[in-house]
Structure formats: C-alpha cells, structure tokens
Amino acid sequence: MSTNEAQTCADDDSTNSRAAILSGHVRELRRRKSMRAALITLPAFAFVLFIFVLPIAAVLYRAVDGGSARVRLPRTATALATWSGKSPLPEAAFRALTDDLRAIDLTAVADLARDLNSRRSGFGRLAIETKRSLDAPAGRPVLTDLVAIDSRWADPAYWRTLQAAMRPFTAYYVLAALDLRQSDRGGIERAPENRRIYIGFIARTFWICLMVTVTCAIAGYPVAYLMANSTPGVARILMYILLLPFWTSILVKTAAWAILLQPNGIVNAVLKAGGLIAQPLTLIYNRFGVCVAMTHVLLPFMIFPTYGVIKAIPKNLMPAAASLGAAPWTAFREVYLPLSMPGLFAGCLMTFVLGLGYYVTPALVGGPGDQMESGLIARFALGEANWPMASAISLVLLAMMALAFVPFLRLRRVFALD
C-alpha cells in the first residue's frame, strides 16, 4: 500500500471515528432532552394519576368487591367453599357459622347485616337476631341452634346468598344497578318487578340531560353568534353578563330559581299581572323546574366553546357567499353553520356530560319523579352507607358518560369535522 493510500485510509478512519463520536453525542443529547421532557410532565402525570385514575379505580374496585363476609366469617367461607348450592347443606356449615357469629361482636354483625340485607331482604335482621340468641347460654345441639332460632336457616336460599357474599369479587351490585340479578342456576335474569327502579333512573337521567342539552343549544348558539359578530364593547358586556352567574355557586342559583318559580314567586306574579294567567302555574317541584334551573347553570358551558369556534370563522365568508348569489339564510346554512358545528358539538357534549352528574338541582326544584342517577349515589353513600351499591351506580354513570361520546364521534364523521 502506498503512502497516499495509507494516508487516505487513516483519514477515513478518523472521519468515521469523529462521526461515531458525534452520533453518540447526538443520542446522548436526545436522551437528556427526553428525560427533561419526562421530568417536566411528571407532576402533571402524578396529578392525573392521584386525582383522576386512582379514585376511578377505587370506585371500580368497590363496585365488584365481594364485601367483608369472607373476612368476618372465615370458618363459614371454608365450609361453603365446596358446597354446590344444590346438594344438602353440610353440618359443618351450621357449626362454622355458629362459631363465627359467636367470635365477632354485634357491631361487626351489624356491618355484615347491611351487606346481606342488600342481597336478600330481611337477611340482615336475621343475622343480628341470630347473633343475639347465640350469645345467650344454650345447651342445644349445634345443628339445631340456628334452625331453632329461626327456621329460615333451613332454607338453602339464604345459604346460597351467604355463599355468594363470600366470593372475593361479585357482579351482584353492578347487576342490581341495572335491575338484574343472578339466578339460582347461575344465569342472569331481571329483578322482580317491585325492585326494578334503577333503569327508570337511568332513562330519566338521559332524558333530562338530553332536554337540557337541546335547550342550551337553542338558547346558546344565538348568544355565541351575537358575541362573536358584535362590536368589542357589546361583546365585552355580554361576556360580563355571562360570567357573573357562571361564577355564582350552583346552590345559590338553584335556590334563586326555587324562589322565582314558587306559586307566589316573581314569575307567576308577572304572568298574573299581565293577565296571561288567572291561577298560579306549577313551575317548581316538577320536570319543568329541573330543566329551567339546569339550563341556567349549564348554559355557559354551551356558549363558551361555540363562541370560540365562531370567533375564528373569517368574517368575509358570508359577504363572499352573498356576492355569489346566495340568500342570507342559504349562506348561513351552507357555509356558516357547518363551520361552527365543532364548537356546537363540543358544547353539547360538555353540557350533556356535566348534566349527568347533577343531583343538587333536581333535589331542590324537582319532584319525586325527577330525581336523577346521581341522587341515588348520594343516598346510598351518605344516607345508607352502602358504598358497594353507590360505587356500582357510579360505575353505571361512568359508562353512561362514555356512551355519550359515541354519538358525538359519529356526528363528527357525518359532518366531516375530523
């Protein structure tokens, strides 16, 4: 090899070495940049995890948690583990339940009774009375202790309910929230007619939220259009008028409507003074009052996204359409309205989803037939301390919110908004 060729090879090796070093530096810089970006987003990720993901996970867990029966009655859980539910009940199950009930205090039995009573009516009182009877000295045989206390212990249906409560995970509460139950054969069937209440709450919640969403869309679109196409001064005044009630507490606004819509309230007084009615109208404690109050509260959530989209539409589109011979209504329908649809759909979705979670407004201005799904959650969680049932209804409500996105996405494809 000549000297020139050797020098050329050395230069090539040096160039390749420098390129490799430079490539390594570039990779290191990219890695550091990625790490910095990850560290920057870490607080936001932690916030979403602890504020949003973990509470939802806790709700999902409580909705399918088998409860405390397997912990409070460990001997009974072992005795019933191999029972098929159809064969004769083993004597060991009676002995195990007797020992378990004697080993725990009455407070623990009361907590257990709440769970059992939600599964079978009267089972909670049966467990408490049995506990009190077993605490008294008795010389009866173990097998006849429970049956002598109450003949219902001879019914296998109660033991099947107790066996179901022993499972680590259960679909009982989720099924109950949908007016369903698990049959003795293991299948799923509808609940008895006198216990079918939850589907009615779901349908009522959907219907009320749909009416409020449509009303907000009809009332909010003209306001958003006026704000986007008026002078800055007028738009500023309209924004202040919109923001002032928006910053007011929901409870205050609902209480104000309760005063306004009373039979002797301002609305009826004005209508009567104008000669429009002879007797006061029933405007409160019914569906009308709920829709009016919820529309007032949720209207800003319809106007803001619609206004943001309309504001971005070029002002020369309507004059351009008019210059091509389109009538004002035709130009609005064919040009302006389709361009504003993303904001209108976003407002409808936000209004509908937020409306699903309302329970204060229906509770204050609605009647017994106007209570919504969230009111059930509040009743079970705060009134009855039945957290599994409250979690199951919350899971159903969460699924309803997820289903609300399906028509929204379909409408986006229909109107080619993506």
Q: What is the CATH number of the domain that holds 300?
A: 1.10.3720.10
Residue 95 lies in a domain: yes
Residue 179 lies in a domain: no
Same-domain pairing of 49 and 76: no
Distance CA 236, CA 238 (A): 5
- pLDDT above 60: residue 370: yes
pLDDT digits (tens, 9 = 90+) for 11-69: 555 555 666 666 766 677 777 777 877 777 788 878 878 888 888 888 888 888 877 78
Same-domain pairing of 60 and 73: no
Amino acid identity, position 89: L
Same-domain pairing of 243 and 347: yes
pLDDT digits (tens, 9 = 90+) for 152-190: 888 888 888 888 888 888 888 888 888 888 776 667 888
- pLDDT above 60: residue 236: yes
Same-domain pairing of 215 and 346: yes
The pLDDT confidence band at residue 213, using thresholds 50, 70 and 90, is very high
Distance CA 55, CA 49 (A): 9
Q: Which two tokens stand for residue 5?
A: 């060729």
Same-domain pairing of 296 and 387: yes
- Domain boundary among the residues 127, 152, 168 is at 168
Same-domain pairing of 401 and 255: yes
Q: Which two tokens stand for residue 15?
A: 């160039």
Same-domain pairing of 61 and 158: no
Q: How many CB atoms lie within 10 A of CB 299?
A: 22
Residue 230 lies in a domain: yes
- pLDDT above 90: residue 219: yes
Same-domain pairing of 389 and 334: yes
CB 162 within 8 A of CB 94: no
pLDDT digits (tens, 9 = 90+) for 94-136: 888 888 888 888 888 888 888 888 788 888 888 888 888 887 6
Same-domain pairing of 58 and 96: no
Residues in the chain: 418
**Lowest-confidence range among 23-32, 272-281, 327-336, 343-352?**
23-32
Q: How many CB atoms lie within 10 A of CB 293?
A: 28
Sign for the pseudo-dihedral over CA of 11, 14, 16, 22: negative
Number of domains in the chain: 3
- Domain boundary among the residues 9, 33, 65 is at 65
Residue 174 lies in a domain: no
Residue 127 lies in a domain: yes
Same-domain pairing of 32 and 86: no
pLDDT of residue 318: 81
pLDDT of residue 48: 79
Residue 22 lies in a domain: yes
**Lowest-confidence range among 342-346, 351-355, 380-384?**
380-384
Same-domain pairing of 30 and 83: no
Domain that holds residue 4: 1-65
Same-domain pairing of 41 and 157: no
